Amino acid sequence: MILSIIVPVYNAEQYIHTCIESIYKQGLKEEDFEVILVNDGTTDKSFLRIEDFIKVHDNITIINQPNQGPSVARNTGIEKAHGEYILFPDSDDIIISNTLLAFLKIALESQADMIVGDFLKINSNNISSYVQPAIEHIYHKQKKGTEFFLNDFNSKECFVWRTLYRKDFLNEKKIRFIPGIYFEDIPFTVECYLNAKKCEIVSLPFYIYRQRENSIVASINMKKLQDMNAVIAHLHSLKKEYNANIEKKIDDVIFSTFSIAIWYIAHNKELLDQRNLYIKDIKGRIPHLKLSNSFKQQIISLFFHLAPNIYIKLCSYNHIFRI
């Protein structure tokens, strides 16, 4: 079997039918791929919404587990996967029709650890009107994971769903999602790039990232912010294993993650009032967080270290003090 598509399912009844439908619009033979739906303790009608697919397609496997978050759901799927390659779409997103065949062809020819594609961000209200352009040429180039990480990787786009991962690579390097946290994409993605011997970078957009109001990142709370701190601490611990250039790039990812957390606190009154909890948590995990890749990082790092409460309050006046 070539491909395992692992989809965590939790309260996605409004979107999941479109997601699963898109998987079966790829022109793939059913014996070449499997769909692993991990029921992460969903409490809505998600599985009733896709009953038509479950009844018709023999390559769908459903795994039930208590709600433990997408990180554990994806780890569960990896353990059950039979495919040479693994894809991790979110249950509210869409795979663009007839694109996966091109990725699988490149994967099988190159045996790369990672096949990285492009994606589109589309507002939920506009997805139905999206018109797929004709595909004329697909360009791809091969790089080492560290080379891509240093030169091409956008530290603000640690999205796990834009990549096909070779299963043996994940197992050989013992790479898994950190259990029980949100924003699990970030450390997983970074570790994959740092360990991959061969990446294929493909010019083809194949994935639609649905922009919706009630997503995880739009419904931020203190627990999720503390999960961001756990991610930052994990990335910080990785730095000692690599050279100075990679350390600096990891610091860029840390800074992006930290900046997102501060933005959420500064623009949410309830979280702004709780900012001392955030400060205590991150300083407890990394007492001497220091970022110095740019003058901006140096100033913000110093300001946050000396007067974090004031810094976050100033950020709430984003027209005066932008992150």
pLDDT digits (tens, 9 = 90+) for 126-143: 888 888 887 778 889 999
**Residue 298: both structure tokens together:** 């140096």
H-helix or E-strand spanning residue 114: strand 114-123
Which class is domain 3-211?
Answer: alpha beta
Distance CA 126, CA 145 (A): 34
Q: What is the pLDDT of residue 321?
A: 44
Token pair 């595909």: residue: 135
Please, which pLDDT band fits residue 213 given cuts at 50, 70 and 90? low
Q: What is the pLDDT of residue 323?
A: 44
Mean pLDDT for the stretch of residues 1-18: 96
Q: For the chain, what percent of residues have pLDDT higher than 90?
A: 74
Please, which pLDDT band fits residue 215 given cuts at 50, 70 and 90? low
Q: What is the pLDDT of residue 218?
A: 58
pLDDT digits (tens, 9 = 90+) for 51-65: 999 999 999 999 999
Contact residues for 37 (Cβ-Cβ < 8 A; gap 6+):
7, 9, 47, 50, 60, 61, 62, 63
pLDDT digits (tens, 9 = 90+) for 296-319: 899 888 888 889 888 888 888 764
Lowest mean pLDDT among 99-103, 167-171, 196-200, 289-293: 289-293
Distances (CA, A) of 144 to 114, 147, 155, 158, 192: 10, 5, 17, 17, 11
Distances (CA, A) of 164 to 31, 87, 93, 200, 208: 18, 5, 16, 10, 15
Under 8 Å between Cβ of 166 and 196: no
Please, which pLDDT band fits residue 153 given cuts at 50, 70 and 90? very high
- What are the start and end residues of each CATH 3.90.550.10 domain in the chain? 3-211
- Residue 235 identity (one-letter amino acid): L
State the pTM of this model.
0.92
Under 8 Å between Cβ of 245 and 50: no
The pLDDT mean for the chain works out to 92
pLDDT digits (tens, 9 = 90+) for 77-129: 999 999 999 999 999 999 999 999 999 999 999 999 999 999 999 998 888 88
Distance CA 202, CA 103 (A): 8
Distance CA 90, CA 115 (A): 18
